[in-house]
Structure formats: C-alpha cells, structure tokens
C-alpha cells in the first residue's frame, strides 16, 4: 500500500500467494493522505481505529506514531480475522502491535481521533457509535473513510441521527471521507454510573419455546432479531446420533451447538466463529440454557486451530459473505477443513441455499454426499469421507 504516509506491505488473511483481492482500499489511502496533509498526528494523539478489515490504516498510523514517539493506536473490531490481519501486517512491517479491543468491550478513552470504517450492519454501527462517543474529547474528530458505492441514504441518515452535522470530502478514486465531531451534550450532566452504562453493548434476546431455547445477542451477531430460516431447517432435520465430539462451525449465537449439547448430554461441543460478539453471545447462551459445562466457544478462522480427525459431527450453516464481499470462498474453506477435522466415520452436516450448489461442491472433499431433507429454499446435506 503506497500512501502519503509511506509504503507498507499489506496482505489479507488468511494469507495466500494467489490472493487477487487487496488488504486495503482507496478509502484507506485517502484517509491517510488527509491525516498527513492536516498534520493530525502528534505525540499527544490518542487514536482509535474501528472495523478495519486487515489493519492497513492501523499499521500506517502505528508507523507514524512510533516515529513521533507517541502512543500506539487501538483497533476496535468484531472480527478475529481483522485481529489476525493486524498481527500479520504489523509483523510483516516490523511494527509494534497496536492495542486490540473486541467489539463486545468498549475501548477506554479519551480519544481525540477516530478512523471509523462503517460496518455493513446498521445495528453494529449504531451500537459502536453510541459507545465510542462518550470516550471522545470534546474537540475530537471522527473520520469515516468509505467507498462511494457503500454510502447510501440510509447510512447517511443514520449517521446524521447519531452524530448531528456530517460533512463529506470530494470523492477520489471512488472513495470519500465523511467527517463528524463529537455532538454537544454527550457526557454532559451524566454521572459516573450513567457513563459506565454506555460501555455496555446493545443486546437483543428471544425465546424458541418449541426447542426449549432462550437466546441472547450482541449487535454484531448473525440473525440477531429472529431465528435464521436456514438454521431452523437444520434444527428441524437434526442428525440422529449419538455423537461424542461435536463442532458448530460458524456458530453465531451458538444455537446448533446448544441444541446438540441438550440432545446428547454426554457430548462435548466446540463452537467456532470469527465474530467476537458471536463467541461472547454463544457463551452466555450456553450458560442460560444449562449446557455451559459441555460447551466451549472460541474465536477462530474456520477450523485452523482444531486438530485433525477430532470431531465425529460438524454442523455448519456457512456464511455467504465476508462483510461486503459476497461469495462462497469461506464456505469452501470450511468444507475443505471439515474434511481434515472429521473422524473416519464422522458426519458433516451443512445447510445452504438450494441455488448455491453445495451438493456438487462438497464432492471435492467427501466421497458420500446425501441430501437429508429439503425446503423450498434450503437443502440439508450430510457429507462423509
Ligand atoms: C450463516 S451464519 C450461521 C450462524 C449460526 N450457526 C446459525 O445457524 O444461525 C455464519 C456464521 O459464520 C461466521 N463466520 C464467517 N466467517 C468465518 C470464519 N472465517 N471462521 C469462522 N466463522 C466464520 C459468521 O460470523 C456467522 O456467525
């Protein structure tokens, strides 16, 4: 990445020499140019970066702050992959590692500069803005680098409702900067208890009486307001078992993991998700549904950290996008890794949209693929080695 703040080696993670997508975009480059032109970094700067996908801007700011002998920036994100990206890119550029705060926690200010990449989820955007504003100094500047195609009226209106006056830079190379200050009135008149309250993330909860489940969600969790239709089809056609070692791959709120733990009280379940808010919500949910002793939820990228041949059942409702990048590349990595982690007689159960053609794709790694049930929109597939 070449910007006004110098040159950096920036990669996406998981790292691949064949990767065709970049780990940064022109909105990052525009933001770094603005920081440089306006001389916004100095030894006193307290900088927080929000939702950066691979830590490119965070590394550029770290480099500048190290040269100034200032403090390290903080990256605040819901993504474990972003955390890995930051680690990879800081190491590749021989930079100290910026502070990292997962999205269910709130970074402790005061900050005077915020570089905020807007997430796709409006619920997460609203929650993060509401929690970061009290952590800002009165004269703090919020810069939101964005690709023009992602700036629609709904986002703009949401920003105005939360931040008051919002201005934009001219567009360059299809990127823009959106600027805001700290709205007047935030913090004023609030006592310490009220301020502490703003540190807490927004939560939504609902019950599924037919499955005996109560589920709680932080703002970044998939399908946080209702049961996902695909998840429902998988719950309905659930494997017969019994099984001993189960993995819920891309666990979200932990629904499949918790249902499995309740169904087979002797089994051990691991739920994995790249969203920290999902892992935190699923952990709360396992406790609330009485299966905490059987379940462990971990932040991870697919099954990278899981030993080979260690699970006799893997359940998966795969993602169909990574933030704004649509496609089945993550699902394909999940399938390939599931084939490694499954025991010889193990079962890999996948629910997916009928049109995605998972039935054919799974055959790259599994010798037997069977459709166990269907729904007008979804199919449930059982794959075996
Ligand atoms: C379609 S949702 C399914 C959530 C839940 N299992 C359900 O059935 O409602 C897919 C989940 O995969 C997670 N995910 C995306 N990329 C991932 C990755 N590289 N490693 C692990 N989980 C990932 C997402 O955060 C999301 O929670």
What domains lie within the chain, and their CATH numbers? 2-197 (3.40.50.150), 203-384 (3.40.50.150)
**Is-contact 341 314, C-beta < 8 A?**
yes
CB of 281 shorter than 6 A to ligand 1: no
Report the range of poorest mean pLDDT among 36-40, 149-153, 338-342.
149-153
CA-based end-to-end distance of the chain: 42
**Token duo for residue 292:** 């905490």
CB of 348 shorter than 6 A to ligand 1: no
CB of 301 shorter than 6 A to ligand 1: yes
CB of 103 shorter than 6 A to ligand 1: no
CB of 272 shorter than 6 A to ligand 1: yes
CA of 275 to the centre of ligand 1 (A): 8
User: What confidence score (pLDDT) does residue 323 get?
Assistant: 64
CA distances from 67 to 10, 70, 96, 195 (A): 19, 8, 12, 34
CA distances from 347 to 241, 255, 261, 339 (A): 10, 18, 16, 10
CB of 252 shorter than 6 A to ligand 1: yes
Q: What is the mean pLDDT of the chain?
A: 94
Residue 241: band (very low, low, confident or very high) from pLDDT cuts 50, 70, 90: confident
**Alpha-helix residue ranges (DSSP H) falling in 69-189:** 80-92, 122-132, 153-163
Residues 6+ apart with CB under 8 A from 89: 8, 9, 10, 11, 23, 54, 55, 56, 59
For the chain, give the percent of residues with pLDDT over 70. 96
User: What confidence score (pLDDT) does residue 188 get?
Assistant: 61
The Cα–Cα gap between 49 and 46 comes to 10
CB of 285 shorter than 6 A to ligand 1: no
The Cα–Cα gap between 356 and 327 comes to 10
**Residue minimizing CA distance to atom 8 of ligand 1:** 231
Best residue among 102, 248, 252, 330 to mutate for probing ligand 1's pocket (most ligand atoms within 8 Å of CB) is 252
CA of 274 to the centre of ligand 1 (A): 7
Which position has the token pair 């310490």?
Answer: 192
User: What confidence score (pLDDT) does residue 236 get?
Assistant: 96
**Residue minimizing CA distance to atom 19 of ligand 1:** 301
CA of 253 to the centre of ligand 1 (A): 9
DSSP-derived letter for residue 217 is E
Residue 141: band (very low, low, confident or very high) from pLDDT cuts 50, 70, 90: very high
User: What confidence score (pLDDT) does residue 116 get?
Assistant: 98
CB of 251 shorter than 6 A to ligand 1: yes
Residues 6+ apart with CB under 8 A from 4: 32, 33, 35, 36, 37
CB of 201 shorter than 6 A to ligand 1: no
Which position has the token pair 């666990």?
Answer: 251
Using one digit for the tens of pLDDT, what is the confidence trace for 74-109? 999 999 999 999 999 999 999 999 999 999 999 999
Q: Give the mean model confidence (pLDDT) for residues 246-274.
A: 98
CB of 231 shorter than 6 A to ligand 1: yes
The yes-or-no verdict on residue 191 having pLDDT over 70 is: no
Using one digit for the tens of pLDDT, what is the confidence trace for 150-164? 989 999 999 999 999
Residue 359: band (very low, low, confident or very high) from pLDDT cuts 50, 70, 90: very high
Cα 344 to its chain centre, rounded Å, is: 32
The Cα–Cα gap between 340 and 338 comes to 5
The yes-or-no verdict on residue 243 having pLDDT over 70 is: yes
**Token duo for residue 335:** 């399938």
**Residue minimizing CA distance to atom 11 of ligand 1:** 250
CA distances from 210 to 40, 207, 214 (A): 56, 9, 11
CA distances from 211 to 186, 227, 250, 292, 372 (A): 42, 11, 20, 17, 20
Neighbours of 158 (CB within 10 A): 16
CA of 318 to the centre of ligand 1 (A): 6
The yes-or-no verdict on residue 194 having pLDDT over 90 is: no
CB of 78 shorter than 6 A to ligand 1: no
**Token duo for residue 67:** 């040269």
Q: Give the mean model confidence (pLDDT) for residues 17-37.
A: 93
Using one digit for the tens of pLDDT, what is the confidence trace for 267-315? 999 999 999 999 999 999 999 999 999 999 999 999 999 999 999 999 9
Kind and range of the H or E run holding 196: helix 192-197
The yes-or-no verdict on residue 189 having pLDDT over 80 is: no
CB of 132 shorter than 6 A to ligand 1: no
């Amino acid at each position: 990445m070449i910007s006004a703040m110098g040159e950096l080696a920036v990669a996406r993670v998981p790292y691949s020499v064949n990767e065709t997508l970049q780990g940064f975009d022109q909105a990052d480059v525009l933001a770094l140019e603005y920081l440089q032109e306006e001389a916004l970094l100095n030894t006193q700067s307290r900088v927080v970066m929000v939702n950066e996908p691979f830590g490119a801007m965070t590394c550029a700011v770290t480099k500048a702050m190290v040269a100034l002998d200032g403090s390290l920036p903080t990256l605040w994100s819901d993504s474990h992959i972003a955390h890995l990206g930051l680690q990879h890119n800081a190491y590749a550029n021989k930079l100290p590692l910026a502070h990292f705060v997962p999205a269910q926690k709130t970074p402790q200010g005061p900050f005077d500069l915020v570089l905020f990449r807007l997430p796709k989820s409006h619920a997460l955007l609203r929650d993060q803005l509401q929690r970061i504003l009290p952590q800002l100094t009165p004269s703090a500047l919020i810069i939101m680098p964005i690709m023009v195609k992602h700036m629609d009226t709904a986002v703009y209106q949401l920003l105005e409702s939360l931040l008051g006056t919002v201005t934009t830079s001219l567009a360059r190379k299809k990127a823009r900067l959106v600027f805001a200050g700290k709205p007047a009135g935030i913090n004023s008149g609030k006592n310490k208890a009220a301020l502490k309250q703003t540190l807490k993330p927004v939560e939504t909860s609902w019950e599924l009486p037919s499955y005996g489940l109560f589920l709680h969600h932080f703002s970044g969790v998939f399908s946080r307001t209702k049961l996902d239709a695909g998840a429902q089809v998988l719950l309905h056609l659930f494997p017969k078992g019994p099984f001993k070692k189960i993995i819920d791959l891309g666990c979200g709120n932990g629904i499949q993991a918790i249902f499995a733990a309740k169904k087979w009280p002797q089994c051990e379940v691991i739920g994995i998700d790249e969203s920290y808010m999902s892992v935190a919500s699923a952990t709360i949910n396992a406790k609330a549904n009485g299966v905490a002793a059987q379940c462990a939820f971990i932040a991870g990228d697919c099954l990278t950290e899981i030993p080979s041949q260690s699970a006799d059942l893997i359940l998966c409702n795969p993602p169909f996008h990574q933030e704004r990048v649509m496609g089945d590349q993550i699902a394909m990595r999940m399938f390939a890794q599931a084939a490694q982690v499954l025991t010889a007689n193990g079962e890999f159960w996948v629910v997916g949209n009928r049109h995605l053609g998972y039935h054919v794709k799974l055959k790259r790694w599994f010798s037997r693929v069977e459709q166990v049930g269907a729904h007008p929109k979804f199919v449930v597939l059982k794959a075996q080695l």
